[in-house]
Amino acid sequence: MVTTVSRTDDVRARAEAALARSGVELGAVKGDALAARTPITGAELFGLRADTVEGVDRAVEAAHAAFLGWRSVPAPVRGALVKRFGELLGEHKEHLADLVTVEAGKIRSEALGEVQEMIDICDFAVGLSRQLYGRTMPSERPGHRLMETWHPLGVVGVISAFNFPVAVWAWNAAVALVCGDTVVWKPSELTPLTALACTALLDRAIAETGAPAHLNQIVLGGAEIGERLVDSPLVPLVSATGSTRMGRAVGPRVAARFGRSILELGGNNAAVVTPSADLDLTVNAAVFAAAGTAGQRCTTLRRLIVHDDVADAVVERLTAAYGRLPIGDPFQESTLVGPLVSEASYARMRSALDRAVEEGGTLCAGGERQLAEAAPGGYYVRPALVRMPAQTAVVREETFAPILYVLTYRDLDEAIRLHNDVPQGLSSGIFTADQREAERFLAVDGADCGIVNVNIGTSGAEIGGAFGGEKETGGGRESGSDAWRAYMRRATNTVNYSGRVALAQGVDFSQ
């Protein structure tokens, strides 16, 4: 068992080296307005400058000015910028992954995976740049053509969360840029460094490909910075990832000025385990989905709804697996569970566990703090497994920490009812070898989420599909499939080449 964690000085040196290698001028970004911290030790690494609200206005204006030129650049040429950016991400994969680990506390393979997710969406966007298809429809009038064209929209405001400090921005930025939009990005206050590194690399790609400067602007700071972006009339689309509380504030503000928003908010993701499930596969998948990223993904598995016949066996196996999970410094190769992002996260986890026990739950594994001596300011916890007698109030809430609640069911309708009876609707799964059960779960009256999986956990989606969820998850879709349409405006065009006026619906207005 590992009992030490990296020293803050070493983490700081690693961060500074990774920033410098990514092209960030440290002297230009350091300041005393914002603290860059690491959850590995909980310590401050160094101070950063932050933006003022006037700075946000300037960034939006610069991005808007850049948009006016960028929108007329042919989409495949825009794709060339994103292609170069993807190459640079590949070259700097290690540095960026270092920064993800430093700031978000992700283990090595997940940090590398996050950078890979950026590279993947760049590839997708490059292909997309030649596929921004509009449809043609048969006109009801002779000598007429009916079609639609997709045009760039404008400045996209991206507000991203600490847990995917760069991949979620990249989903938005890569697609927005090929769509002819420009971006103003407000990263989480907890993860400014990775954002600065990605911005430097994108700026380099912009310079190398001769694209207009200011296509992507970064603004650093607290809630007031995000609010200014949300309220800006020059930002037709706000794409925000974070808590449901944040989305409740952002959605109506954007709507009040008739802007559009893509909201990717909380999840309370569940998987159903049926009696025919392959239990080795199920437990393996569930442990990653529930304990991976220290339970801090919006797609984290938070509820397991297990058939009575297999519940004891599943809980027994999960308890054993939870007991073996290597928890510790995410820079150490053997670690699978890194730290929580902050003391506040730990406090919320403890309070949820206390409530779960008050509501009749039995703590089967985990919940206790680890490495408190080695890292007094780092919040390492053993992921918790709690057996619940019912879907009580605490189970229906998203606690952004590694807590997996186990519930039981007798028939699949009851499992689906339980599954859907939460306010959130992001990701879901069923573990079964019975095709009828799988189909029932995927069907119209099955799982009500934006992501519905079979024999796969709830987290770790590929970029090729549209990503997002229903209900309090906010309804937005990002990433692959046809999510790009949200980043463009559609014009419907009717062209009359008949030489005479013919009105639709047979209206006669002959003079």
Question: Which residues of this protein are in contact with ligand UN1, per CB under 6 A?
Answer: 117, 161, 163-164, 168, 241, 297-299, 459-461
Min CB(274)–ligand UN1 separation in Å? 23
Min CB(96)–ligand UN1 separation in Å? 16
Ramachandran assignment for 39, one of left (phi > 0), alpha (psi -120 to 50 degrees), beta (any other): alpha
The alpha carbon of residue 128 and the mean position of all alpha carbons in its chain are separated, in whole angstroms, by 20
Min CB(457)–ligand UN1 separation in Å? 9
Which of 70/171 has CB closer to ligand UN1?
A: 171
Please tell me whether residue 389 adopts helix, strand or coil conformation. Answer: coil
Type of residue numbered 361: G
Which of 51/398 has CB closer to ligand UN1?
A: 398
Which of 241/274 has CB closer to ligand UN1?
A: 241
Cα distances from 499 to residues 159, 167, 510, in angstroms, run 50, 52, 15
Neighbours of 195 (CB within 10 A): 22
Q: What is the DSSP string of 186-222?
A: E--TT-HHHHHHHHHHHHHHHHHHTPPTTSEEE---S
Question: Would you call 373 a catalytic residue per the annotation?
Answer: no
Which of 67/185 has CB closer to ligand UN1?
A: 185
Catalytic-labelled residue, pool 103, 110, 189, 264: 264
> Nearest to ligand UN1 by Cβ — which residue?
461
The secondary element (H helix, E strand) that includes residue 413 is helix 412-420
| Residues 155/63, Cβ–Cβ less than 8 Å | yes
Min CB(123)–ligand UN1 separation in Å? 15
Which of 161/166 has CB closer to ligand UN1?
A: 161
Min CB(460)–ligand UN1 separation in Å? 5
Min CB(461)–ligand UN1 separation in Å? 3
Dihedral angle of Cα 76, 82, 86, 92, to the nearest 10 degrees: 150
Q: Could you tell me which residues are beta bridge partners of residue 492?
A: 148
Which of 241/408 has CB closer to ligand UN1?
A: 241
Candidates 230, 286, 239, 228; CA nearest to 261 is: 239
Catalytic positions, written as ranges: 264
